[in-house]
């Protein structure tokens, strides 16, 4: 008789990989929901959407990233979090422009020292990194976040999105250079999980995306995962496989999984999440598994 499977490490799936869903969007989500034409987009509607996402997708996710304002308590109150799916809490305050694009971030100091629910396994902070001054925060603030997670006994998830000094998004070639520079600059600060963009936003060859991913792996001592922002929804599974070949250990994705549901109303939202979004999660997990297996095979061959 084979030995029983041991439970996976926190925030990891049964394959030892990170297959995570983000539902911590705030004003950007309000903008998305407004496109359905059902106005106004109330706080209650925001919370209900997040509850529906959790109920449909947490059975297929190793962790769910939530915000405090609209997600965490409503999800727990609705018993919408599947057993085995951990929580990551966003500790960032994000300033958006009129279109819902993040412009700067600050640490939510009102959330420091909180005693969290036992299902919370991590804290997350979004850093808008530029080659010069970071947008809205500084190194001391990021370090304070990492230290707070250590105090609470949970993982620190540092999410890094690169920008030009004027706040604009860089072109794909430049973006890949900045993603690597940001990893080399911020990873030594000690976050236990690093989250970054897909190099080139996947707008390059498979070899190029994997090559830069390998360089990120060399620069980051902790595990790292990719976010879905900036990548076309239909290309994200391919991007996950390419980055996993280069050493990424997972994904933490929101819009690539559930964004199309925001244009729907009523029961159509639930139906979409339970069919299309679930299929997307299953496909992403398979892409991740294949990419990680290929990475391990290349590593084994090299070691031999």
Total tally of structural domains belonging to the chain = 1
Structural domain range at position 106 = 18-303
Dump pLDDT digits (tens) for 3-48: 444 455 899 999 999 999 999 999 889 999 998 898 999 999 999 9
| Residue 4 falls inside a structural domain | no
R_g (Cα) of the chain, nearest Å: 18
Dump pLDDT digits (tens) for 51-65: 999 999 999 999 999
pLDDT at 299 over 70: no
Mean of pLDDT values over 110-136: 95
Share of the chain above pLDDT 70, in %: 95
Quote the mean pLDDT of the chain. 93
The CATH number covering residue 163 comes to: 3.20.20.70
| Residue 235 falls inside a structural domain | yes
Q: Taking the mean position of all CA atoms in its chain, how far away is CA 260?
A: 18
Rounded Cα gap, residues 187 and 70, in angstroms: 30
225 φ, ψ to 5°?
-135, 165
| Residue 91 falls inside a structural domain | yes
Dump pLDDT digits (tens) for 246-268: 999 999 999 999 999 999 999 99
Alpha-carbon dihedral 55, 92, 103, 209, rounded to 10 degrees: -70
| Residue 154 falls inside a structural domain | yes
| Residue 248 falls inside a structural domain | yes
50 is catalytic: no
Tokens of 221: 């001592």
The active-site residue, picked from 50, 106, 124, 195, is: 195
| Residue 57 falls inside a structural domain | yes
Residue (of 136, 134, 203) closest to 174 by Cα position:
203
| Residue 89 falls inside a structural domain | yes
Say what the pTM is: 0.94
Determine the pLDDT at residue 33.
95
Give the H/E segment covering residue 298: helix 278-303
Dump pLDDT digits (tens) for 169-188: 999 999 999 999 999 999 99
- E strand spans, the chain: 18-23, 63-66, 86-90, 92-96, 102-107, 120-129, 155-162, 193-196, 224-226, 250-253
| Residue 1 falls inside a structural domain | no
The CA-atom distances, in angstroms, between 138 and each of 35, 104, 144, 149 are 35, 11, 10, 17
């Amino acid at each position: 008789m084979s030995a029983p499977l041991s439970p996976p490490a926190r925030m990891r799936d049964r394959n030892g990989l990170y297959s995570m869903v983000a539902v911590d969007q705030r004003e950007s989500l309000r903008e998305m929901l407004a496109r359905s034409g059902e106005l106004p987009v109330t706080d209650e509607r925001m919370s209900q959407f997040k509850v529906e996402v959790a109920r449909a997708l947490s059975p297929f996710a190793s962790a769910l990233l939530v915000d405090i304002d609209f997600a965490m308590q409503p999800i727990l109150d609705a018993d919408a979090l599947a057993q085995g799916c951990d929580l990551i809490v966003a500790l960032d305050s994000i300033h958006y422009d009129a279109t819902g694009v993040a412009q700067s971030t600050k640490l939510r100091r009102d959330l420091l020292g909180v005693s969290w629910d036992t299902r919370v396994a991590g804290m997350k902070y979004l850093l808008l990194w530029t080659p010069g001054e970071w947008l809205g925060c500084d190194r001391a603030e990021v370090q304070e976040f990492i230290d707070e997670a250590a105090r609470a006994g949970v993982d620190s998830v540092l999410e890094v999105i690169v920008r030009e000094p004027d706040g604009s998004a860089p072109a794909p070639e430049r973006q890949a250079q900045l993603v690597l520079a940001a990893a080399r600059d911020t990873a030594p600060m000690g976050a236990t999980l690093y989250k970054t963009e897909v190099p080139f936003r996947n707008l390059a060859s498979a070899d190029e995306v994997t090559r830069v991913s390998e360089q990120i792996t060399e620069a980051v001592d902790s595990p790292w995962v990719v976010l879905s922002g900036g990548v076309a929804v239909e290309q994200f599974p391919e991007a996950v496989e390419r980055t996993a070949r280069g050493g990424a250990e997972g994904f933490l994705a929101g819009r690539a999984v559930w964004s199309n549901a925001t244009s729907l109303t009523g029961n159509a939202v639930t139906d979409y999440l339970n069919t299309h979004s679930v299929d997307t999660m299953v496909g992403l997990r398979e892409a991740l598994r294949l990419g990680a297996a290929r990475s391990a095979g290349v590593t084994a061959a090299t070691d031999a």
